[in-house]
Amino acid sequence: MSLRGWTESLPGVLLWALLALTAAVYWPGLAGPLVLDDFENLKPLVDMHSGAISWQEVVFGSSVGVGGRPVAMLSFVLNWQTSAGEIWSLKHTNLAIHLMCGALLFWLSGRLLAEPLSAVPTHRWWLALLVASLWLLAPMQVSTVLYVVQRMAQLATLFVLAGLLCYVTGRQQLTKRRRLGIALMCLCFVLFWPLATLSKQNGALLPLLALVIELSFFSRPEPAADRRLITGSLALLVVVPAVAAGFVLSMGSAGLGAAYQAQDFSAYERLITEARILFDYSFNLLLMPGGSPLGLFHDDFVVSRGLLDPPTTALAIVAWIALLAVAWNVRGGSWSAILFGPVYFLAAHLLESTILPLELYFEHRNYLPSTGLFLGLGVVVGRLIQRTRLRKSFIALVAVVPLVHGTMTAARVLNWQSKETLLLTSARTHPDSARVHTGLAGLYLGRKDLGKAFEHLDRAEEIYGARQSYAIALHRLSAYCSSGRRVAERHYGALETHTGITDTVYTTNALLSLVDKAERGECRDMDLVRIANVIDEDVGTSSGAGKHGRNWALRMYAARLLALLGRKRAALEHALVAMALRPTWIEPALLAIEYQFALYDREGAGRTLAEIKKRNLGRVGLYAQLIDAYERRLEKSE
């Protein structure tokens, strides 16, 4: 191989070294714990392992968003079956996906930077290596790679990048080998678009991102047939899903409004706050790591209550609108590739950073958008290198930046080695995060240090205000179980004087914790009857019913608590309501039939048994055995 050939192939060789370096940086964090909603989303795998449900129900029974996330759940099932459910293995797979995404980004960047509009074709593979290194070693990516259930975001990104690579390759082949070009472009939308969408719903944005690439890097094709093909297909694939999404949102506007009841902000406030958050993501976290405190917990971010509250809200909105206006005016010109990064970034945030009733701020939402942001940065760097007189110094600086990223990422990975280090670090960087304080309360409760735990619960309640005070009251009461200490009267009073239960994840988890401990006999020194009276009334009058609400879970846990105290009739009422609210789950029906047998309600047990048989259809072996046992019991009672 000639010296020139070796020089041209060197970036590809160095890519392998970059992937190895990234793996080494992340390796210590693979031993870290599960966090936040890892437990809730991975519980079906535990149920599958015990035989309670089938793998098909794990894959297709997901209720996360429209259509679920079967591709991501299938990956978890395969991972679980081949590793006996080791957390290390789950995180190891996440790391492998991260490396594959980095390799695809390198390839995609090299192809896009070859286009004349990028104006940097000479150094394109070196720039592609820079883009991949910045993205792979960006400190922000830690809270995606080591957060197990964010594999959903990773897989969506993997398939989006694969789809965009097919689109770009096909687009470049269109004038040379038209059939191959059309086939590759079709592969993008026929194969990778569904795979991305069924991994996580923001994968549905693939056609929009292809449109952004088309307008930023490609000139209009000369043959009229090719122009019609590209314009027509992209317009169809972007407009039709957008109209369908708008229709779905308008039809579900009542449910959307109900979902915001559990939040501390309205849909309007969320929308205008996200304008500031997007700047925080892009500048402070991605381009200047360390400018804003990184971490898993960002519930301390100040909500925008109006365009001038704070004043930066209006500035952020005007800036984003101006950027989009300029990008539209320069499309197809020499500036279009420079503005590609922020436009792609906005487009990729369209679902998670607008009006959907999600929490305001999570770093993992940048996993896909950051690919375009760094690619756009690669264009800017390439042009500066070509035009600056201090080219060698500039190249040296560019080479150092990924190493700085890697050093910061390595330090952050160490914080993810245990729940304790993660929480204690977050307490320093986000002292006003209520979620950090509830997490620390749980940490100190595990050490039987009630005083320290209650300090953090008090601080959390101060931050949350009335929104989570019900959950905190339950959390405090459950803390007394197995403590050997008598419950202070004020803690009973805090629950009894509350205006009503709040249907949030925190409330659900706090009630579940209390019920689990009570069933294990750990709450003998507690007045469970007094607590059950309040729960019975409050859960019975709470709102939040519906397919994605948590009211069904509150009903189930209330039923278990009441049944433990011998109040089977009240328990049955809650179980039947939970059964109606969550028709795809059999657990509420199993509770209901147990209570009906205990109450000698043979007729009701027969109806519930028929319903269970209809729902199960012999799919789950354990349930089929339970159904047979219930049928025999019913026959005996007759």
**Which two tokens mark 95?**
């790391």
Tell me 192's DSSP state: I
Q: Is 52 helix (H, G, I), strand (E, B) or coil?
A: coil
The residues, any chain, with a CB within 8 Å of residue 286's CB and separated by 6 or more, are 138, 140, 366, 370, 373, 374
Report the Cα 370 to chain-centroid distance in Å.
15
Counts of helices then strands in the chain (DSSP H, E): 30, 0
pLDDT value of residue 546: 40
With 0-12 / 13-18 / 19 or more C-beta atoms within 10 angstroms meaning exposed / middle / buried, residue 593 is buried
pLDDT value of residue 255: 60
Query: What is the spatial distance between Cα 503 and Cα 540, in angstroms, rounded to a whole number?
Result: 12
Question: Which of these, 587, 569, 568, 567, lies nearest to 578 by C-alpha position?
Answer: 587
Q: Where are the domains of the chain?
A: 3-243+268-415, 433-542, 567-638
Which H or E element spans position 201? Answer: none
**Do the beta carbons of residue 125 and residue 382 sit within 8 Å?**
no
Query: What is the spatial distance between Cα 243 and Cα 238, in angstroms, rounded to a whole number?
Result: 9
Question: Which of these, 178, 125, 117, 158, lies nearest to 15 by C-alpha position?
Answer: 125
Q: Which residues of the chain have pLDDT under 50?
A: 3, 291, 545-549
Query: What is the spatial distance between Cα 155 and Cα 73, in angstroms, rounded to a whole number?
Result: 11
Q: Return left, alpha or beta for 115; rule: phi > 0 is left, psi -120 to 50 is alpha, else beta.
A: beta
**Which two tokens mark 52?**
């309670």
**Which two tokens mark 485?**
């200490």
pLDDT value of residue 110: 92
Question: Which of these, 289, 313, 318, 314, lies nearest to 301 by C-alpha position?
Answer: 313
What are the phi and psi torsion angles at 306 (to 5°)? -170, 175
pLDDT value of residue 548: 39
